[in-house]
């Protein structure tokens, strides 16, 4: 699977594309707080830099009412990290007092494959927007989450086709006392993923994330190992949602998960894009669905052996 579509919504608000420079005079804009604004430029043909488009945006709308912002493509996304983008947003923080949700890198495969998106240090952005409650980023190349501290952030999403273990460890070390939802796409070794289960231990104990209710450790080629580790992980007992989707989960991992602590307290178990046999799928359903757990077992893949399994998103 590739990421072929832009985000349709953010934080419950429908996405709306801020017009480019030529279309802007003719465009009727919605109320500033009614949509999630996507600011983007053509990554290869636009003569306008993202920072200039953002400056136009701040003048065109009532920035004080903007609740959600989606950063789309910036110039030369294959070669350029969004340092200027981040600098522009941080510099405008006083103009955006209502901004609660931010996503950086809403870029489709036609604009730049996920594992080729250049990213950078996110601490200046997160630490510079203390009012945020939701943050997401796509692309793991150059991504740095060191030094993140945020008192209000409730949702953190990191989408990659291959995530370096240093980033995982930095997220684990971040001070995020209000975080309720954590979603990490670990990816594959071919594109830089080198996380092992030991790196995930701070998430599994839950000690550093006292408010966590939803945990997604997905899109991984070590999905069986993660499932086995979660079988006895203390954090599971207080989760409402557990997501092991988009990866290479097979019967071995599912067997370990079902053989561990009870999962019947969950509201949802998401395993879509998996390699489970029909008997194992039926066992999961009969174990959890009578207790009211919503189980997603869609997108069953087939593989002759472990080596032929693939994650949903890689390049």
Q: Which pLDDT does position 305 carry in this prediction?
A: 62
What share of the chain has pLDDT > 90, as a percent? 88
Q: Which pLDDT does position 46 carry in this prediction?
A: 74
Q: Which pLDDT does position 198 carry in this prediction?
A: 96
Q: Within its chain, how far is the Cα of 280 from the centroid?
A: 28
> How would residue 85 be classed by pLDDT, with cut points 50, 70 and 90?
very high
Q: Is the pLDDT assigned to residue 22 strictly greater than 80?
A: no
Q: Is the pLDDT assigned to residue 23 strictly greater than 80?
A: no
Q: Is the pLDDT assigned to residue 153 strictly greater than 70?
A: yes
Arithmetic mean of pLDDT, 221-225: 97
Q: Is the pLDDT assigned to residue 104 strictly greater than 70?
A: yes
Helical packing angle, 223-230 and 251-258, nearest 10°: 10
Arithmetic mean of pLDDT, 8-12: 97
Q: Which pLDDT does position 1 carry in this prediction?
A: 57
Please spell the DSSP secondary structure of the chain, one letter per residue.
----S--SEETTEEEEEPP-TTTGGGPPPPPTTSSEEEE---TTT-SS-HHHHHHHHHHHTTGGG--EEEE---TTTTT--THHHHHHHHHTGGG-TT--EEEE----TTT--GGG-B--B-HHHHHH-TT-SEEEEE--BT-B-TT-B-SS--EEEEE-SB--HHHHHHHHHSB-TT--EEEEEEE-GGGT----GGGGHHHHH-TT-TT--EEEEEEETTHHHHHHHHTT-GGGGG-SEEE--SS--BHHHHHHHHTSS--TT-SEEE--SBB--HHHHHHHHHHHGGGT-EEE--SB---SSGGG---S---
Q: Is the pLDDT assigned to residue 26 strictly greater than 90?
A: no
> How would residue 306 be classed by pLDDT, with cut points 50, 70 and 90?
low
Torsion sign, CA atoms 220, 124, 170, 152: negative
Q: Is the pLDDT assigned to residue 25 strictly greater than 60?
A: no
Q: Which of 214-218, 285-289, 304-308 has the lowest mean pLDDT?
A: 304-308
Contact 208, 182 (CB under 8 A): no
Contact 85, 71 (CB under 8 A): yes
> How would residue 82 be classed by pLDDT, with cut points 50, 70 and 90?
very high
> How would residue 264 be classed by pLDDT, with cut points 50, 70 and 90?
very high
User: 122-138: per-residue pLDDT in tens?
Assistant: 999 999 999 999 999 99
User: 175-201: per-residue pLDDT in tens?
Assistant: 999 999 999 999 999 999 999 999 999
Q: Which pLDDT does position 52 carry in this prediction?
A: 95
Q: What is the pTM of this model?
A: 0.95
Token code pair at residue 34? 């009614």
Q: Which pLDDT does position 42 carry in this prediction?
A: 87
């Amino acid at each position: 699977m590739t990421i072929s579509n832009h985000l349709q919504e953010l934080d419950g608000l429908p996405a709306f594309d801020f017009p480019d420079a030529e279309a802007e005079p003719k465009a009727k804009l919605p109320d500033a707080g009614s949509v999630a604004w996507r600011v983007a430029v053509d990554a290869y043909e636009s003569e306008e830099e993202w920072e200039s488009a953002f400056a136009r945006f701040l003048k065109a709308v009532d920035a004080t009412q903007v609740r959600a912002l989606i950063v789309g493509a910036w110039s030369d996304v294959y070669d350029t990290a969004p340092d200027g983008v981040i600098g522009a947003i941080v510099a405008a923080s006083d103009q955006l007092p209502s901004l609660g949700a931010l996503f950086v890198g809403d870029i489709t495969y036609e604009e730049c494959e996920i594992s080729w998106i250049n990213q950078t240090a996110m601490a200046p952005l997160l630490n510079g927007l203390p009012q945020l409650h939701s943050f997401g980023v796509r692309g793991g190349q150059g991504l740095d989450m060191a030094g993140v501290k945020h008192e209000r952030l409730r949702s953190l999403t990191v989408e990659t086709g291959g995530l370096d273990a240093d980033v995982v460890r930095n997220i684990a070390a971040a001070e995020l006392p209000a975080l309720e939802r954590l979603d990490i796409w670990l990816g594959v070794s071919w594109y830089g993923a080198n996380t092992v289960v030991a790196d995930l231990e701070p998430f599994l104990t839950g000690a550093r994330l006292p408010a966590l209710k939803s945990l997604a450790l997905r899109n991984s080629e070590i999905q069986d190992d993660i499932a086995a580790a979660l079988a006895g992980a203390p954090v599971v007992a207080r989760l409402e949602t557990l997501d092991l989707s988009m990866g290479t989960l097979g019967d071995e991992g599912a067997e370990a998960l079902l053989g561990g602590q009870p999962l019947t307290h969950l509201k949802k178990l998401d395993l879509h894009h998996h390699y489970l046999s029909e008997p194992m799928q039926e066992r999961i359903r009969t174990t959890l669905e009578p207790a009211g757990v919503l189980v997603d077992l869609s997108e069953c893949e087939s593989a002759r052996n472990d080596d032929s399994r693939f994650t949903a998103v890689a390049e």
